[in-house]
Structures are given as structure tokens and as C-alpha cells.
A = this chain, B = another copy of it.
């Protein structure tokens, strides 16, 4: 049994874990079964997945010292006898098995914390969806694997061929030899070592942390830009319970809106989110008079980056929640994103890396600074737009209908919106704190109405399926 030390970034996700700020990510994947599927199709699949299965890293790794999450050093060890019935579960929807009931069940499953005495992930095969459909919900702790890598592994375990009926699921795949994790150098010890590595280690750790804490406290810090996020109910302390809602749209519809409005796909996503949040917060009597500010992770190449490749950065943009009319709102968003991009282009690599660290380690650093959910936020909501598989994928003949990512709400960020493209669709996952944001599932409804409204204002036809 070999032990491997956790990477610094992964350790910070352990340090941040609490019953309220659970650091697991996940995804929901609904499937249409093949036309020739027997009634026990899904049950047979689960039986087969569980029988004599061999798990490969990272899916068979568990913490060596699961009772001391704040330990300065952590190791993964390979679990000799993983409890596969614990890790791979069957669930069912109560009647009528519609999208609402699916959302309720997945919200509930996402609200329980992982047990680090087992490998910290679970996969649920959910039966009882309308029309004989089923879904796979998977959650995994961010210390074990990041969402991007997980999605890549998942896509590897699906097939573009509807007639391929033998492929195993992701956790039974041998590790990808191209995995970057395997090539990483041994990480340094401890919490400050972790922060240091994360920030590329050139500077004194205390200085970095001080700067970041200062940037949290000072809304006019130069890396933040001229915008200032208002106080909002989205930015308080959170509870442990989650609510998850989903929406799926046609990608070409969104692209047509972007073209008609003169902006990017991302601008349309932001403007629609703004419309959605404007209505949601108005109904709670909690709409700030100043526009909400979104933080958007983006791929950037900074001006002083001589080498190729992308760096993950982020930008802040207005959601124009103070604007009433849909086209004017889109215009306001476009003005804001253009300014943010110009500013980002003017930033040094160092500032971008610092900003990325802030984005990647929100809870760890906010715990350090003690400000999370208590001070004025730098931004009100994180909105991610992730490219996904372009071709339709199948699992044993069952067609993957959608890919809904599930990210991490934390203290100070009670809502997260992630959308992912897949096979000509754009799939939205809204995840948030159930207790501080009541009726969160309405976000999906309001988004649908905002799409119709903006389409009509831009004179873009609404596809029948979205009406």
C-alpha cells in the first residue's frame, strides 16, 4: 500500500471542509435509455459495476488520517477493500419522476458531507425518471480531484458510439498516463508550504497572505478594478443544505442572441443571469440598487507571458441588475466586460496569478482572514462557463442528454452558477445554500423567462423545445 502526499492545493480543500462549507464538486448526467433496454437495464448495470470491480487511483484513495482534517500533512493511501456498495449506490425518484423531483433528490444528496474513512466520492444511479430515463449523480471531494479532470475522466468512460455496450464507468478506468498529477514534484509540507506552492513560491508567504487579505478588505485594490460589489443576501454565511436547479438551452440559440446583440456568448450568459437574479432578489425584497458583480473565471494569456499556454485568470463584470430592459441590460454587461478585459490585458502575470489564487482558494484564504461572509464582498456571484464534449456521448447505448456541473457554495458566496456546453446544448447548473436563499429553484424558471424576453427583444426566434 503506497502513500502519496497531497498536493498543497488539495490540502487547502481539506482545511476548508466543514459541515457548512463542504468542498465536494459534482455533476448530474441524465440519460435516455436505448430503445431495446430491458426493464432491469439500470439494475443490471449497477450489479455489473459492483461485481468484482477493480478501482484505480484516484478512485481507491482515502486519507491516511481521516480524523484529523486540519493535520499539517496529509497522505492518500490506497484502500485495499473499497466498500463498493457504499461508493456506488442506487436511488429512485418519487412520482412523478420529473425534473423537479430529480432536483430535490440531487440537492439532498449534495447536502451530505463525504466520509474520509472511505474514498471521498459517491456515484448514484438514479431510476424512476419520467419516460424510463435514468440519471447518474456523482460527487467527489475537491481534494481528491478537480472538476475539470473529473469531467475529462467521465468523458473518457463514455462512448461516441451508441452500439458500444461494454465500456466501464469512470472509476474502473486505469489512470490516464497523461495525467499531470502523476508528474508533479513532491509538494512541500504544511499549510504555509501549500499556500507558497500555490502562488509559485517566489515571494514570502506572509507577504502574499497579507496582500490577499488586504485585497479582500480594500474594494479599491488595483487588482480588483473600479467596480464595487454591493452588499447582498448572496454574500452571507451559509448553512449546510443545498438546492440545485438545472436548465438546458440550444447553443445555436444563445449564439444567435449574441450575434444579434453584438456581444459574446458569455455576455449573453451574464445578461440573462442578471435578469434572473434581478427578479429573484426583487421578490425577496433584496435587490441592491447598485448592480451585482460577477466573478468569471477566464482563460487569459497575460502580456508578460512569453511562453505559450493559457493561464487561468478571472474577471469581474457587472450583471446590470439595475437595468430594467433586456437589450439595455445586455449593452451594460458588454460595456462592463470590455472594460474588464482591457484591464486584464494590462495586468502583470503576477497580479493574474494572485487573482487566480484568490479564486481557487476562496474558503481557505477567507478562513485565514476571517472575513468570509462577514465583510463587503468583492463580487456577488461566481459564474463559470466551461466548454464540454462536442459530440453526443453514450453509456451502454443510453444517450447522455445533458451535463450539469455542481460547484461549491461557501461562506460569502451562497450561490454558484456554472454552465457547460455539450453536443450543441448549453447546460446550466444553479447550486446554492437552501437556507439563506429560499426558493432557489425559481432561478431556473426565471432564467427560462429571461431567455424568451431577450430573444423577443433581439428578434431572435426561440426554439420550440425551449418555449
Instruction: Mark A residues whose CB is within 8 Å of B.
Output: 19, 40, 43, 83, 86, 89-95, 101, 104, 108, 112-113, 115, 117-118, 127-128, 239-241, 434-435
Contacts and interface: CB of A to CB of B under 8 A. Distances in A.
B239 A115 contact: yes
A92 to B, nearest CB: 4
Contacts of A94: 43, 90-92, 127-128
A86 B43 contact: no
Given A92-B92, A92-B95, A95-B127, 11 more contacts: A19-B113, A43-B95, A83-B435, A90-B94, A91-B94, A92-B94, A92-B128, A94-B127, A112-B112, A117-B435, A128-B128
Contacts of A113: 19
Contacts of A108: 89
A95 B40 contact: yes
A86 B90 CA distance: 22
A89 B101 CA distance: 11
11 contacts: A19-B19, A19-B113, A86-B241, A86-B434, A90-B94, A90-B101, A94-B127, A94-B128, A95-B127, A117-B435, A128-B128
A244 B153 CA distance: 34
Contacts of A115: 239-241
Please report whether the interface of chain A is mostly helix, strand, loop or mixed according to DSSP.
Answer: loop
A115 B112 CA distance: 11
A91 B83 CA distance: 24
A427 to B, nearest CB: 25
A435 B108 CA distance: 22
Contacts of A240: 115, 117
Nearest to A46: B94
A264 B211 CA distance: 75
Contacts of A89: 108
A271 to B, nearest CB: 32
Contacts of A104: 90
Interface hub of A95, A101, A113 (most chain B Cβ within 10 A): A95
B239 A117 contact: yes
A2 to B, nearest CB: 23
A240 B241 CA distance: 19
A93 B118 CA distance: 24
Contacts of A91: 94
A239 B434 CA distance: 27
Nearest to A438: B83
A43 B19 CA distance: 31
A266 to B, nearest CB: 34
Contacts of A127: 94-95
A65 to B, nearest CB: 14
Most buried by B among A91, A94, A112, A239: A94
Contacts of A40: 95
A120 to B, nearest CB: 13
Contacts of A101: 90
A115 B93 CA distance: 23
B92 A93 contact: yes
A117 to B, nearest CB: 6
A317 B239 CA distance: 46
For A90, A91, A92, A240, the residue with the greatest tally of chain B CB atoms inside 10 Å of its CB is: A92
Nearest to A96: B43
A86 B240 CA distance: 12
A217 to B, nearest CB: 24
A86 B113 CA distance: 17
A117 B20 CA distance: 11
Contacts of A92: 92-95, 128
A115 B242 CA distance: 12
A334 B137 CA distance: 52
Q: Which 4 A-B pairs have the closest CB atoms?
A: A92-B94, A92-B92, A90-B94, A112-B112
